Structure 1
């Protein structure tokens, strides 16, 4: 098993994810009932994203299979992915997903993790020439972009812990979509990142917490590598993690131990290992040749992948989402990705 994205991994991940994109139960709703009329099934509430245990996992499951389809168009699942996309990613179904956002008390629905993944999905669909998938999904992407426009100016403080509400992760994905599609949102994201993180120094990296799947420290650094030019990012990074040369903070270089993969929260730590590998590889690519973090970070990424890739499948608590983060980590090792 290699630490690069290849046809073996693509076939494995696509097979896993196709197995749960349409699996309606078990399902965890992010849904506020305002009366008995709101007690509805996942498929009734979300005609597209009612599989994969929860809405956001279904969204990034779609992102994953569509990205694999583009990168590896000859995998065995290619025809099945196209057929399912033609059936599910339609204007009518998207209209129903958009209408859900107008429901009472739906303002915080999937904020900001699901918002960001939907933008990433639309960005990926837009790369599939000759198909109507991106056009169909665009109204939903635009609806979430408007929510970012409203939310970011009033978010006084960033959310730093390494779960779904993490601000840096959402901004990484949203910024990728906004460039070339919403210049004002791209500028807003860049400004908020500077407001929140530019002055940070000497991170203690108090992680992991017991159910984190994102590294608060490395996600912040990855975001800054995206929005700062290299000549500004390098001194910021050196001040943010000044002790890397001596191997500190050690916690960022050491994979988290997962004691029970049937526990959905503890299983998050497999995702932490994969997201750290993704971050380290991307941060290393943003640094100049010879920087200490290149050698340390790439080695740390390999360690995190080695202990986690064998566990992408096995229990539904991890299987419904881990392949997406494995794809991020493996693709980050490809300079062409």
Structure 2
């Protein structure tokens, strides 16, 4: 399954509508005093739209990725114009200023941090545009926060929601490969310390409102930090030899897509598909490769028809679908 022009237009239409839409009950619009009783766009002049800050960030990643891959799509002109007016030095400075406020040390940690680095990575691929250069100070700010955070994070957070450590580090790892050798080394050492000794996974999946798999996010991160010769035996001991791959990963059923938490399960199917595709690519050739490929397809088939249609999923699912469709 690939990213077709029709799917790209569907995703772009959804994301373009949401990155500039201020949801009336902005979840991360924290009020520290009367001076903060202002519209979200006053505190976050770039990432004010969508349901929350991080969804706006990866909505932008979706738009820029689609614009680069399908420059002739009808939405490309509007995306480019909006990016030109959004990714400015002044607006980036205002986003950084928010991070300097009291009580902002843990703002969007680590999920939004990872996505911001991933967005900067994509923005930098548009060589004729200043978007990457404009966003770089904000990306560097979060890179430094990752270093400080990992220095004191004794245990990985393995829940299937925004606090998951491995998912954010998978995004950050790609950025660091090209821009920050210190962060790259920090991530790889931390991942080895956190997950190298894990085997025979015995977690319960899925949780009722998860959009990430604790097992697959850890495996995905390890696939990025290890070479195939070292990674494949680890994955066999972690998920294959005990039969977990054979019985634990049926696509999740979503009972109510208008419920924002239950709608997370569509995201779980998409993030699992992304992980299965990445793992299949890493271990190939392998006797169990067909099951990884089949699981990736099954999870995509379960979720792709529901990327748009209800705001609770539509404001973020296209990003996860795009991760899966572009993997490999």
Distance in 2 (alpha carbons) for counterparts of 1:31 and 1:196: 33
Q: Paired residue for 2:150, among 149, 152, 158? A: 152
Partner of 1:166: 164
Counterpart position of 1:66: 64
What is residue 302 of structure 2 aligned with on the other side?
307
Identify the residue that residue 36 of structure 2 maps to in structure 1.
Answer: 38
Matches within 5 A, 1:295-334: 295-332=290-327
Q: Which residue is equivalent to 1:240?
A: 238
Aligned match of 1:273: 269
Unaligned 5+ runs, structure 1:
none
In structure 2, distance between residues paired with 1:203 and 1:26: 41
The size of the alignment, in residue pairs, is: 328
Return the TM-score normalized by structure 2: 0.97
CA drift of 1:26 comes to 3.2
Q: Distance in 2 between matches of 1:225 and 1:176?
A: 12
Structure 1 residues 132-147: aligned runs within 5 Å? 132-147=130-145
Aligned partners of 2:320 and 2:25: how far apart in 1?
Answer: 20
8 Å CA contact retained: 2:201, 2:244: no
Aligned residue for 2:181? 183
Encode CA deviations 1:32-60: one digit per residue, 9 max, x unaligned: 43322222221111001011111000000
Contact 1:32–1:105 at 8 Å: present in 2 too?
A: no
Superposed displacement of residue 25, structure 1: 2.0
Question: 1:260-315 CA distances to partner (integer Å, 9 max, x unpaired)?
Answer: 100000000000000000000010000031330x2101101111111111111111
Q: 1:18: how far off? A: 0.6
Q: Is 2:260 the partner of 1:264?
A: yes
CA contact (8 A) 2:201 2:239 kept: yes
Match of 1:251 among 248, 253, 257: 248
Taking the aligned partners of 1:23 and 1:125, their CA distance within structure 2 comes to 21
Distance 1:43 1:150 in 2: 29
Cα distance in 2, alignment partners of residues 138 and 122 from structure 1: 7
Q: Distance in 2 between matches of 1:186 and 1:114?
A: 18
- Contact 2:220–2:279 (CA under 8 A) maintained in structure 1: yes
Match of 1:291 among 263, 287, 293: 287
1:129 alignment counterpart: 127
Write the deviation string for residues 156-190 of structure 1: whole angstroms up to 9, x where unpaired: 00000110010000100011101121100000000
User: Alpha-carbon deviation of 1:206?
Assistant: 1.1
Task: Report the Cα distance in structure 2 between the residues aligned to 1:226 and 1:233, rounded to whole angstroms.
Answer: 9
Check whether the contact 2:266–2:303 (CA below 8 A) recurs between aligned residues: yes
Q: Does 1:106 align with 2:101?
A: no
Q: Which runs of 5+ in 2 are unaligned?
A: none
1:23–1:227 Cα change, 3 Å: same
Give the superposed CA RMSD: 1.2
For residue 295 of structure 1, give the secondary structure of its aligned residue in structure 2: helix
Residues in 1 aligned to 2:286 and 2:237: alpha-carbon distance in whole angstroms: 17
